[in-house]
Chain A
């Protein structure tokens, strides 16, 4: 599929990012933990996580941020723009072996600096927002 291309002028408040649904497998979370040096029980082993008072192994917050960043960079695609900021708040654990949905929408555009602000978040199967955040995309000067 060709990457999207959009100019700053194409961006409108309310434009949606995603939604992108994905099944977050435990092995996928473990692969992220291994790759990023976070091989600790809470991210790799249900029993080990429960000993820390968690319901089972959880997804690293960094991985949630990475998934939301990818949502934004996929939206940018081949546009002359780049992700300049992302902020996240982890409200509830993101449990692996569940389906999550990544969402976003444009909340603000700034003509002076050609930026678009957006709300981004991760929902679980019950439409609860587990991770919330914002992102800023900077479009190139024309």
Chain B
């Protein structure tokens, strides 16, 4: 059983400075993954679409990250950690002109033993809000370390 301060769970650690969303960044984000839907790049097509304006692809939500100081507060176990996966809830579209803040806390810490040995998972829950204090996404990041 790994040792950590249980008071870390649930405690809000950081709210980032607002990160701007621009049409250029949205279009640039889509190119490496082949996102070609006009809903993300074409104003006229987007006006006729379900959102009425250009929006970012849903996965744009996971490009917002915590600052380096946040990870100084994350319990560390064993050797270097890896991104083990994510669970993302897309609540509302992100649009060019929005500014997004990220509020994060340690949600859960748990251990697993698999074929390759013992692992510790730290789950960080991030909530993304826009300039109107509307939630646009929740992201659970799972970080894995080997003990």
**Residue pair A31, B31 in contact (C-beta under 8 Å):** yes
Complexed CA–CA distance, A3 and B42 (Å): 15
A90 interface contact, C-beta 8 A: yes
Question: Given the known A-B contacts A62-B62, A66-B57, A80-B50, are A31 and B88 also in contact in the complex, defined by CB atoms under 8 Å?
Answer: no
Check if A70 sits within 8 Å of B86, measured CB to CB.
Answer: no
Which A residue sits closest to B55, measured CB to CB? A82
Residue in B32, B34, B62 with the greatest tally of chain A CB atoms within 10 Å: B32
**Pair B63/A62 contact, Cβ less than 8 Å:** yes
The segment from B7-15, B77-85, B102-110, B125-133 found at the interface with A is: B77-85
B contact residues, total (Cβ < 8 Å): 27
Q: Does B65 belong to the interface (CB within 8 Å)?
A: yes
Contact in complex: A87, B33 (CB < 8 Å): no
Are B86 and A37 within 8 A (Cβ)?
no
Beta-carbon contact of A85 and B90 below 8 Å = yes
Q: Contacts A85-B88, A90-B83, A90-B84 known; A32 to B32 CB distance under 8 Å?
A: yes
Report chain A residues within 8 Å CB of B33: 32, 63, 66-67, 70
Residues of B within 8 A of A (CB): 25, 28-29, 31-35, 37, 50, 57-59, 62-63, 65, 80, 82-90, 142
Can you give 13 contacting A-B residue pairs, CB < 8 Å? A62-B62, A62-B63, A67-B33, A69-B58, A73-B37, A82-B50, A84-B90, A85-B87, A85-B89, A86-B88, A87-B85, A87-B86, A133-B85
